[in-house]
A and B are shown apart, each in its own frame.
Chain A
Amino acid sequence: MASDQAVGQEADMKDLLEYLAKALVDNPEGVEVTAVEGERSVILQLRVDPDDVGKVIGKKGRIAQAMRTLVKASATKEGRNAIVEIID
């Protein structure tokens, strides 16, 4: 499927992850997402305030997994792969 937004797709995934993380934590200013670009994949590194780490991981890692699933779905749409790393 042709897309008229060939540029800036990475930003979408980055923005999505940033939005989710900020909405989940107590200290949104502490949220930082860095994108490391590969050819077919992008690694998104998420940093949050140390007090908020549990919030973005969730019980049994459920929230982290849910964020990964959603970001991956968004990447798939653009024919790419996205890896979410939570930097502790």
Chain B
Amino acid sequence: MEPVERDVTPKSVVVDIVNLMDLRTRITSWEDEEEIHVDVWGDDLGILIGRGGSTLQALQDLVTTIVRRTCPETRRIVVDVERYKERRRQKLREYAERMADKALSTRKAIRLEPMTPRERKIVHDALKDYAGVESKSEGEDPQRRIVISPA
């Protein structure tokens, strides 16, 4: 790549990378006070997501490291492809609510599969205002998991 005189932004780095990967995409970016989001859109972007989102995570790690090198104060950078993360969050919330219903109807605690800290936070948040159940985590990473019990 020829050196280009311009600011390194999360969006510009993602654009460079997907171009080098020869992927046809459209890229949008938006930000709030805490995070800068870069959304990648297009067909057949499964390879950019990878198994369990692993390629997407690698992309986000690299973009974050590259941007922070020149702008250390940059907010958290979140890269998403075809709303993959958002869809996964939604599924996780729905799953958490189904399990909460089950805990309520059976009056028994339910132990979920081990999850990453981020996934656990999504579940805890989903159940925070859910009447009649409480959620807490037990065990140590990477085996740490949520237990949903009738309050």
Contact = CB atoms under 8 A, between A and B. Distances in A.
Q: Do A and B bind each other?
A: yes
Contact of B17 (A5, A16, A22, A65): A16
Contacts of B61: 62-63, 66
Contacts, number: 63
Dominant secondary structure at the A interface: helix
Kindly state the interface size class of chain B when it binds its partner: 20 to 34
A76 B47 contact: yes
Interface string A41-67: 000000000000000001000110111
Contacts of A58: 65
B96 interface: no
A27 interface: no
Nearest to B61: A66
B55 A70 contact: yes
Interface of B: 1, 8, 13, 16-17, 20-23, 47-48, 50, 54-55, 57-59, 61-62, 65-66, 69
Interface of A: 5, 12, 15-16, 18-20, 22-24, 58, 62-63, 65-67, 69-70, 73-74, 76-77
